[in-house]
Amino acid sequence: AQSVTQLGSHVSVSEGALVLLRCNYSSSVPPYLFWYVQYPNQGLQLLLKYTSAATLVKGINGFEAEFKKSETSFHLTKPSAHMSDAAEYFCAVSERHGTDKLIFGTGTRLQVFP
């Protein structure tokens, strides 16, 4: 069975600082991996996805993530945080040839201070 672990339920950074949100996955088959963002009182929006093409994936709003099979990781980064990045971030995994249902991590709340 697939699972994801997000280390750190809360991350705080200063505006302009590097953002690093950690995600490790467990999967018996090569996975699809996703990062979603949820702004306050809104639904989920896809940031980026890994589906077996390039291991470094670029998403919206300047975010990117690198798939590292040897470390079973898919950490999300952004070189310079903006105030507008404050939100909840969820890592998710699905089977490559499965039913498309996603298993979500527990989420990381990102706070950005001026």
Partner 1 sequence: SAVISQKPSRDICQRGTSLTIQCQVDSQVTMMFWYRQQPGQSLTLIATANQGSEATYESGFVIDKFPISRPNLTFSTLTVSNMSPEDSSIYLCSVAGNANTGELFFGEGSRLTVL
Nearer to partner 1, 40 or 114 (CB): 40
Q: How far is the CB of 98 from partner 1 (least distance, A)?
A: 8
Residues 40-79 that bind partner 1 (CB under 8 A): 42-46, 49, 51
Please report whether residue 102 would count as binding partner 1 according to CB under 8 A: yes
Please report whether residue 100 would count as binding partner 1 according to CB under 8 A: yes
As a whole number of angstroms, the distance between CA 85 and CA 61 comes to 8
Considering CB under 8 A, how many residues would be counted as binding partner 1? 22
Q: How far is CA 108 from the centre of its chain?
A: 9
Q: Return the number of other C-beta atoms located less than 10 Å from residue 51's C-beta.
A: 14
**Interface mask (CB under 8 A) for partner 1, residues 23-42, using x and -?**
---------x-x-x-----x
Encode 83-112: b = buried (16+ Cβ within 10 Å), e = exposed.
eebbbbbbbbbbbeeeeeebbebebbebeb
As a whole number of angstroms, the distance between CA 68 and CA 33 comes to 11
Please report whether residue 87 would count as binding partner 1 according to CB under 8 A: no
Please report whether residue 111 would count as binding partner 1 according to CB under 8 A: no
Binding site for partner 1 (CB under 8 A): 32, 34, 36, 42-46, 49, 51, 90, 94, 96, 99-107
